[in-house]
Amino acid sequence: MGAVHFSLVKFNRGFLVCLWLWGMLSLSCAAARYGASRQKFEVKKHLNRLNKPPVKTIQSPDGDIIDCVPISKQPAFDHPFLKDHKIQMRPSYHPEGLFDDNKVSAKPEGKETHIPQLWHRYGKCTEGTIPVRRTKEDDVLRASSVKRYGKKKHRSVPIPKSAEPDLINQNGHQHAIAYVEGDKYYGAKATLNVWEPKIQNTNEFSLSQIWLLGGSFGQDLNSIEAGWQVSPDLYGDNNTRLFTYWTSDAYQATGCYNLLCSGFIQINSDIAMGASISPVSGYRNSQYDISILIWKDPKEGHWWMQFGNGYVLGYWPSFLFSYLTESASMIEWGGEVVNSQSEGHHTWTQMGSGHFPEEGFSKASYFRNIQVVDGSNNLKAPKGLGTFTEKSNCYDVQTGSNDDWGHYFYYGGPGKNKNCP
């Protein structure tokens, strides 16, 4: 009888353990289902916030969907401070020395300027609307969270003279740049050739851009950025794309790429932020470059962006910033990559053309006709142009000047090689 009782106790204990495990598993499954359901709800809510109802939709050959959205319905106007904002359809002033005449408009007059974006092959947006690259569910799901979608990681700006060595290789971000500092800057301009660098891992990117910076490199950095990039994580492919970025708190909570949050106000109906640029430059082949100008309107105080020879894209309202409400304290031009160092080796993600500066024209990537805007709203050659790179054996930069290109530099590199293991 004792043996039977002992067996029943063991059975009851085993049964209770199984029952407990089953309960825990059920709770875990329920929690997982709730989590997945919650994430799906958050993603859908975010997509509804970003993708405004279009008056026309254009299917791009690269798989993008371009929505033609009424200018007054764009994501910028979700910002509480912009509810009653009157859209400024053109800047009050442009920098002196930009054109022979005094005209700047949303579209260049006279001779048509080629805008190399793939979606133009299948249509265009009408006046009064702006082209917006539609955000898809997969785009958001690739991000670490819904909240971080469309945002750079913290500390992703080059710090040429930092006294803090822990910031130098900021989260694997590496740079090859030229820069100026020590003055008040009210804009910057450059022409840069466009490439399609190879990316090793999907969580890495390669970009070439202009930075306009204000504040310290701590928690309060203000930055306005524009250029071209290849970012599989952000866009889901390896196409070269036009982009902008802004932040007023060192990439923490504020700002985003392109139109992926409220902030930048677009007025142009021809250019889509985040859309593919085509064609791109080839090694020992044709070179294709784009011109980017960012400047502060002396009257209204907004920061304006122009792409190409006269296409004014729009502006960042001055209230978005703290230090940049006055001026920038540093300008940087150049390349940036993410080096995730998989398996302990340097990434072979390319910067620019993937070739070192010494190879020169048609082989290396370049920035030419570099200029800054001074306090009198004049475009000027930069004074005291410096250079910076964390690892010159991986990516490097070399400056020069001549009559045709003014101040220029070649930059970039292949990443991993025999001198950069």
What is the secondary structure of 204-223 as a DSSP string? --EEEEEEEEES-SSS--EE
Residue pLDDT, tens place only, 301-358? 999 999 988 799 999 999 999 999 999 999 999 999 999 987 789 999 999 999 999 9
**Per the domain annotation, does 243 fall within a domain?**
yes
Residue 109 has pLDDT above 50, yes or no: no
pLDDT at position 18 is 60
Q: What are 192's strand-pairing partners?
A: 290, 367
Q: How far apart are CA 357 and CA 354, in angstroms?
A: 10
**Per the domain annotation, does 45 fall within a domain?**
no
Mean pLDDT of 149-172: 65
Residue 229 has pLDDT above 80, yes or no: yes
pLDDT at position 159 is 79
Q: How far apart are CA 114 and CA 295, in angstroms?
A: 23
Mean pLDDT of 127-136: 97
pLDDT band at residue 388, thresholds of 50, 70 and 90? very high
Q: How far apart are CA 226 and CA 295, in angstroms?
A: 12
Q: How far apart are CA 10 and CA 39, in angstroms?
A: 43
pLDDT at position 308 is 86
**Per the domain annotation, does 43 fall within a domain?**
no
Has 109 been annotated as catalytic?
no
Q: Residue 2 is encoded by which pair of tokens?
A: 């004792």
Residue pLDDT, tens place only, 45-94? 999 999 999 999 999 999 999 999 999 999 999 999 998 899 999 999 99
Residue 268 has pLDDT above 50, yes or no: yes
Closest listed residue to residue 186, CA positions, set 124, 123, 109, 96: 96
Q: How far apart are CA 49 and CA 69, in angstroms?
A: 13
Number of structural domains found in the chain: 1
Has 326 been annotated as catalytic?
no
Q: How far apart are CA 309 and CA 312, in angstroms?
A: 9
Q: Residue 352 is encoded by which pair of tokens?
A: 């620019």
Strand order from edge to edge, sheet including 65-70 = 56-59, 65-70, 129-133
Element (H, E) at 33: helix 2-50
pLDDT band at residue 162, thresholds of 50, 70 and 90? very low
Catalytic entry in 336, 343, 359, 390: 336
pLDDT at position 104 is 44
Q: How far apart are CA 263 and CA 305, in angstroms?
A: 13
**Per the domain annotation, does 3 fall within a domain?**
no
Site of tokens 């952000």: 234
Q: Which residues contact 129 (CB under 8 A, 6 or more apart)?
A: 54, 55, 56, 68, 69, 70, 71, 269
**Per the domain annotation, does 292 fall within a domain?**
yes
Distances (CA, A) of 330 to 61, 140, 146, 191: 39, 33, 32, 19
Ramachandran angles phi, psi of 151, nearest 5°: -120, 145
* SS3 state of residue 13: helix
Q: Which residues contact 36 (CB under 8 A, 6 or more apart)?
A: none
Mean pLDDT of 143-147: 91
- Asked if 411 contacts 359 with a C-beta cutoff of 8 angstroms, the reply is no
pLDDT band at residue 217, thresholds of 50, 70 and 90? confident
Catalytic entry in 96, 225, 300, 326: 225
Mean pLDDT of 384-412: 97
Average pLDDT, the chain: 88
Mean pLDDT of 202-225: 94
pLDDT band at residue 3, thresholds of 50, 70 and 90? low
pLDDT at position 110 is 38
Enumerate helices (H) and strands (E) in the chain, giving the number of each: 3, 19
**Per the domain annotation, does 274 fall within a domain?**
yes
Residue 168 has pLDDT above 60, yes or no: no
pLDDT band at residue 258, thresholds of 50, 70 and 90? very high
Q: Residue 142 is encoded by which pair of tokens?
A: 């690739």
**Per the domain annotation, does 13 fall within a domain?**
no
Mean pLDDT of 186-211: 97
Ramachandran angles phi, psi of 344, nearest 5°: 80, 5
pTM over 0.85: yes
pLDDT at position 342 is 79
* SS3 state of residue 332: strand
Q: Which residues contact 20 (CB under 8 A, 6 or more apart)?
A: none
Q: What is the CA radius of gyration of the chain?
A: 25
- Asked if 416 contacts 203 with a C-beta cutoff of 8 angstroms, the reply is no
Specify the higher pLDDT residue, 152 or 11.
152
pLDDT at position 216 is 84
Residue 31 has pLDDT above 60, yes or no: no
Specify the higher pLDDT residue, 217 or 248.
248
pLDDT band at residue 141, thresholds of 50, 70 and 90? very high
pLDDT band at residue 155, thresholds of 50, 70 and 90? low
Q: Which of 4-13, 268-277, 401-410 has the lowest mean pLDDT?
A: 4-13
**Per the domain annotation, does 338 fall within a domain?**
yes
Residue 282 has pLDDT above 90, yes or no: yes
pLDDT band at residue 102, thresholds of 50, 70 and 90? very low
Residue range(s) defining the domain that contains residue 325: 50-412
